[in-house]
Structure 1
Amino acid sequence: MIKQLGSFAIAGAAIAAVVVGASTPAMAAESGIQDTDKKISLPDGRGTMTYIDDGDMFVVCDTRADGHGVTGQLRKNASGFPTMIEVTDGGDAGCDKKGYNVGNHLGEEYSMWLWWDGGGDPVLSGWFNE
């Protein structure tokens, strides 16, 4: 009987370890520890726009020396999709950046729009908030 209880105790401890281990990622996600940075890229490696959640920073990079820069905008999901900020890059070393406090209010969503200044349609991110 004692050997049998010992076996049940060991099995119970193993199950508890699996349950605790399985719940750790869910607990991390619920506590806000998750990657919410976003990045969009133009075709042919022409440029990128990145949202860095830690500090609410938007970084636009012209990644091709083709005589044209790139323009990124942060737009709000509201009537007319108003532009909240605009960041351009091109003709100089490094990327350009600008901060904007992205809200986390219910129904308040934003999208990044990125253009190659040589023409064509923009690349859009999905809608997001904090």
Structure 2
Amino acid sequence: MKFPRAALTMTVAASALVVALQSPAMASDSYHVMNTGDAFGGGIFDYYGEAYFTEHGDIVKVCDTDADGHGVRMYVNLDDAYGPKLYSITVGGEGNCETHRASQGGVYDLPEKRNIGFLFCRHDATSEGECRAYKFYNDF
């Protein structure tokens, strides 16, 4: 039985689409999004700050997302959000971000096969508040 060239092309294209659609789902297990909570007077997705942790490469990115005169601080800890401190990142000014990754070495190269805790807080010069705790198993 002969298949017309157009049918073969459609089959190959459909197969490629299925593979392409599955790839991000598999990668999502190692990519985590965190936030500091709802900003005052904001809507459902109006956060003081957002952060991202990518296990592959131990990439931690922290961003201030609210023009409220406060910054955000992320504590990166072993085991859970209140465990031994590895390092912290402080960012201020809406739209500003800071990123650290394993390739920088030292404390930024997070241990594998272990829980990594994150404590993400609204921050100003005199205090911290409205913190959220996160924990992810770093297996990449």
TM over 0.5: yes
**TM-score of the pair, normalised by structure 1:** 0.64
After TM superposition, the structure 1 = structure 2 runs for residues 1-130 of structure 1, keeping only pairs within 5 Å, are 33-35=26-28, 36-44=30-38, 45-77=47-79, 81-91=83-93, 93-99=95-101, 100-105=108-113, 108-118=114-124, 119-130=128-139
Q: Which contiguous aligned blocks of 4+ residues in structure 1 show a shift greater than 4 angstroms? A: none
* Distance (Å, rounded) in 2 between the aligned partners of 1:121 and 1:64: 14
**TM-score of the pair, normalised by structure 2:** 0.60
The root-mean-square deviation of aligned C-alpha atoms, in Å, is 2.7
Q: Relative to structure 1, is the Cα distance of residues 92 and 115 closer, same or farther in structure 2, using a 3 angstrom cutoff?
A: same
> Structure 1 stretch 83-92 or stretch 59-68: which is displaced more?
83-92
Structure 2 unaligned runs (5+)?
1-18, 39-46, 102-107
Q: Identical aligned pairs, as a percentage?
A: 22
> What do the CA deviations read for 1:54-109 (whole angstroms, capped 9, x no partner)?
3211111000011110000111028x71111211111375311112222223xx21
Is the Cα contact below 8 Å between 2:60 and 2:99 reproduced in 1?
Answer: yes
Count of matched residue positions in the alignment of Structure 1 and Structure 2: 99
Structure 1 unaligned runs (5+)?
1-24
Greater share of residues in strand: 2
* Partner SS, residue 34 of structure 1: helix
